[in-house]
A and B are shown apart, each in its own frame.
Chain A
Amino acid sequence: MAAPSQMATSQLYCWEGDWDLPSVDNECLIVLAYAKFAGAPLKLHKIGNPWRSPTGSLPALKTRKNGSLSQPSDIIIHLRKQKYNADFDLSAKEEADTLAFISLLEEKLMPALVYTRWIDPKNYVEVTRRWHAKHAPFPLNFFLPGSIQRQQLERLRLVRGDEELTAGEELELYCDAMECMNLLSQRPSPLDSFVFGYLHLKSLDNLSHFCSNILALYFPSEGREGFSRKVSSQPEGGDADNEPGKRRKQLLSVLVALGAMLSYALLTGIVAIQHVKQEALDHRSPGLTSLSSNEEEDEEGRG
Chain B
Amino acid sequence: MSLAAEAFVSQIAGCRGPERTISRIKQSAEPWPENATLYQPLREDQILLSDCASSLAVQAYLRMCNLPVHVSCRSNAEYMSPSGKVPFVHVGNQVVSELGPIVQFTKAKGHSLSDGLDDVQRAEMKAYMELVNNMLLTAELYIQWCDDTTATEISRPRYSSPYSWPLNQILAYQKQWEVRRKMNAIGWAGKSLEQVYEDVSQCCQALSQRLGTQPYFFNKQPTELDALVFGHLFTILTTRLTSDELGEKIKSYSNLLAFCRRIEQSYFEDSQAGSSSRGYSKGPSLF
- State the A residues within 8 Å of B (CB): 55, 70-71, 74, 77, 92-93, 95-97, 99-101, 103-104, 106-108, 120, 122-123, 151, 154-155, 158-159, 161, 167-168, 170-172, 174-175, 178-179, 182-184, 186-187, 233-237
Contact = CB atoms under 8 A, between A and B. Distances in A.
A104 B126 contact: yes
B273 interface: no
Contact of A104 (B119, B130, B187): B130
B155 to A, nearest CB: 19
A211 B212 CA distance: 33
A175 to B, nearest CB: 6
Contact of B5 (A77, A106, A174, A182): A174
B120 interface: yes
Report the contact-size class of chain B (Cβ under 8 Å from the partner).
Answer: 35 or more
Contact of B134 (A103, A161, A235): A103
Contacts of B122: 183
Given A96-B210, A104-B131, A233-B2, 8 more contacts: A92-B209, A100-B124, A100-B128, A104-B127, A107-B130, A172-B16, A174-B9, A237-B6
B17 A95 contact: no
Given A99-B202, A161-B85, A183 B127 contact: yes
Interface stretch (B58-66, B178-186, B259-267): B178-186
B186 A155 contact: yes
A236 B9 contact: yes
A171 B124 contact: no
Contacts of A233: 2-3, 6
Given A103-B130, A172-B17, A175-B14, A97 B185 contact: no
Given A101-B127, A122-B2, A96 B206 contact: yes
B83 interface: yes
Given A103-B127, A234-B6, A71 B187 contact: yes
B170 interface: no
A103 B206 CA distance: 12
A107 B128 CA distance: 12
- Interface centre among A70, A92, A123, A183, by most B CB within 10 Å? A183
Interface string B202-239: 11011101101000000000000000000000000000
Contacts of A159: 185-186
A170 B5 contact: yes
B3 A237 contact: no
A171 B130 contact: no
Contacts of A235: 2, 5-6, 9
Nearest to A183: B123
B124 A97 contact: yes
B15 interface: yes
Contacts of A151: 185
B190 interface: yes
- Interface centre among A100, A107, A161, by most B CB within 10 Å? A100
10 contacts: A96-B207, A99-B203, A106-B130, A122-B2, A161-B84, A161-B85, A168-B17, A172-B16, A175-B12, A175-B17
Nearest to A151: B185
Contacts of B3: 233
Contacts of A154: 181, 185
A178 B203 CA distance: 26
Of all A-B residue pairs in the complex, the 9 with the closest CB atoms, nearest first, are A96-B206, A183-B123, A100-B127, A96-B209, A237-B10, A179-B14, A103-B134, A104-B127, A103-B131
A96 B205 contact: yes
B130 A95 contact: no
Contacts of B12: 175
B134 A178 contact: no
A101 B129 CA distance: 10
A182 B122 CA distance: 11
B126 A93 contact: no
Contact of B9 (A77, A103, A178): A178
